[in-house]
Structure formats: C-alpha cells, structure tokens
Amino acid sequence: MPVGLRTLLPSLLRPLPELAVSEAASSQNLGTIDDDLRAAFVHAQTETIAAVARTVRALDTGMSELDVAQRLEAEVDNRGFVTWFQRPRVLFGAPVRPPLRMSADRALKRGTIVEIDLAPANADAYGDFTTTICFGVDEEPEIIRDARALCAASCGFASRWKCTGEVFVFADAWANNRLASLGDADAIGHACLPRRGRTGWA
C-alpha cells in the first residue's frame, strides 16, 4: 500500500465533527416519542381500562353480546374518543371457532366465560384492552387461569427486539407443551394501521 494512502486511512475513517454530532442526535431520537404523544396514549389506555372495568361491574344475567358491546360504546362516549382502532368485541362461551358476528340471542348466565375487547381512538392515540372473566362465579375456571399464565409467560418472553410472530410461536409452543391449543389462531398481535397525520386513524 502506498505510504500516502496508509497515512490517509485513519483520518478518512475518523468521523468529521459535524457528522458525529448529527449521528449522536439521531441516535438519541431513535425509538422515542414526544411527551404530548406519550401522554395521549397513557390517557387513552387509562380510560379504556376504566371503561372495561365499569362494563364488567355492570354485567347482568340475560344480557346479550350486543348488549355488552353497546354498553362498552356508551362507556367511552364523551371521554375524548372520536373513532375506533377496533370496534368493541364481545364473545360468550370461549368457542374454539369464534363466530364472525356478535349475537343478540346468546344470553349471559352464571358460569359463562365472557371475552371483552375494547379499542377506542382519539386524534392522536388509541387504547386497547382485553379481558376474560367467568360471570357470576368466585373461582375462575382452569382455562382462564391457564390463559393468564400464558399471557404472563408471553410478556416475559417479549422484548422490544422481538416481533409479534416470535411471540406467537412462543405462545403456541407454551400451549402445546401443556396439552392445550390456541385453537385455529395462526397469528398474534395487532395489525398496525397507517396514521392520517395527527388527525385520526385510517
């Protein structure tokens, strides 16, 4: 190698001061969100969890899946939400193959497993909370206890470096190792919908 080039290499590989400053600034902003947006998500999630809790306390014998869904919609009305990340979803009985539509005929009774999913959105953020309870009984059935354990295990496995597909594979293996199944599920997690600026969700 010519002496001149060997002498130049260290200086060529050394970042220029202005580039170093720019790279440092970029790395500080990587993966961060502004305080206003963070506060919007915290508010949306807090209100969503509270709405589900109020709905669970209001459950009554004879209510249908649609009745509960309408109650969920009423609970988030006038609380800063303007649209839905996903419309309320209520399911009774934990069927292996969930129906596509909620029913006005399936009636709530003691011992019914109730799945509730609520995801309202405002202009900047959305809340998303799902819970499963067994109506009218003090002790949860084994399937709900196992589901809670699976959620805890999956959260322990998850990290910012794992995609939803990896979490699904872990959850599926966890269930299989305990002679259980995730049913017909072939995916887990959210479909991330595109934003329309800061004015709403597509």
How confident is the model over 141-185, as pLDDT tens digits? 888 889 889 989 999 998 888 888 888 889 999 989 988 888 776
pLDDT digits (tens, 9 = 90+) for 60-117: 999 999 999 999 999 998 888 888 988 999 999 988 778 889 999 999 999 999 999 9
Q: pLDDT at residue 118 above 70? A: yes
pLDDT at 190: 52
Strands 113-121, 83-92: parallel, antiparallel or unpaired by DSSP? antiparallel
Dihedral over Cα of 103, 187, 149, 193: its sign: negative
The answer to whether the CB of 197 falls within 8 A of the CB of 124 is: no
- Phi/psi for 121 (5° steps) reads -135, 150
Query: What amino acid occupies position 117?
Result: D
Q: Any idea where the domains of the chain sit in the sequence?
A: 33-137, 140-187
User: Do 172 and 97 meet the contact criterion of CB atoms below 8 Å apart?
Assistant: no
> In this structure, which amino acid lies at residue 192?
C
CATH superfamily of 33-137: Creatinase/methionine aminopeptidase superfamily (3.90.230.10)
8-62 pLDDT, tens digit per residue, is 333 333 443 443 444 444 445 545 668 888 888 999 999 999 999 999 999 999 9
pLDDT above 60 (res 198): no
Q: Is the pLDDT of residue 202 over 50?
A: no
